[in-house]
Amino acid sequence: MKKRKRSKKIPEVRKIYRILESSFGDLGWWPGETAFEVVVGAILTQNTAWSNVEKAIEALKKNGLLNIAAIKKERPSRLARIIRPSGYHRMKAARLKYVCRFLSKECGGKLARLKKQETGALRKKLLEVNGIGPETADSILLYALEKPVFVVDAYTKRIFSRHGLICENASYDEVQSFVSERFDKDVRALNQFHALLVEVGKRFCKKKRGLCGECPLGVLLER
């Protein structure tokens, strides 16, 4: 009696990925011309629509502030005013400064050098920075530093719990482990997967009501 019981079965997680991939195709996620721009976006998009983040990043560019040295030097109130469209602007201005200080200290502002660090150790350091929580840390690791990490967000939790794969009050780390153990450690696929989950979540898995007949996953019931 071997314990091979479900060896042929495709794990639900991969199945979800395939369905989403075939419905939405390649989303080419996280627009950003440089790794640093991705880091900035990761901070600015906290609990904020990406369309608002774009305005803030454009404003930073226009003012020559999309680099570490300039952000460190800029007056907090002016930095906040420039990123205002992204919401929580006073807080995020401070967070940008914390991140820049960290980057200077950790790698002299050279993100290519940061990439060489071991993922687990780096994640721990990122989490020590005020303003960087688990999702922001993982977004930076995956999208800016190209580390094979699965990023969990509110949609991910909602989708997996409504499909009965995790319990709805699972912690960040629990959700991440669940998926990581059932999915490829591949940067491109992980990038796509998070993007796909957000995309399908935006369309069919809102907070209050979830139903939409057109959802490719088909199972996003009303609660």
Can you give the binding site for DNA, defined by CB under 7 A?
A: 29-30, 41-42, 45-52, 55, 80, 84-85, 87-92, 129-137, 139, 143, 153-155, 169, 171-172, 198, 201-202, 206-208
> Between 22 and 47, whose beta carbon lies closer to DNA?
47
Q: Which is nearer to DNA, 45 or 192 (CB)?
A: 45
Least CB distance to DNA at residue 154 (A):
4
Closest CB to DNA among residues 48, 161: 48
Using the minimum distance from each CB to DNA, give the nearer residue, 110 or 206.
Answer: 206
Distance between CA atoms of residues 28 and 188, nearest Å: 9
Residue 70 vs 170, nearer CB to DNA:
170
Residue 219 token pair:
């199972």
Shortest reach from residue 179's CB to DNA, in Å: 16
CA distance 145 to 21: 23
**In the bound complex, what is the minimum distance in angstroms from residue 3's beta carbon to DNA?**
31
CB of 183 to DNA, least distance (A): 18
Contact 146, 187 (CB under 8 A): yes
Tokens for 122?
A: 């780096």
Sign of CA dihedral 187, 15, 49, 90: negative
Q: Which residues contact 34 (CB under 8 A, 6 or more apart)?
A: 111
Show Cβ contacts of residue 170 under 8 Å, excluding neighbours closer than 6 positions. Answer: 157, 161, 178
Query: To the nearest whole angstrom, how small is the minimum distance from the Cβ of residue 131 to DNA?
Result: 5
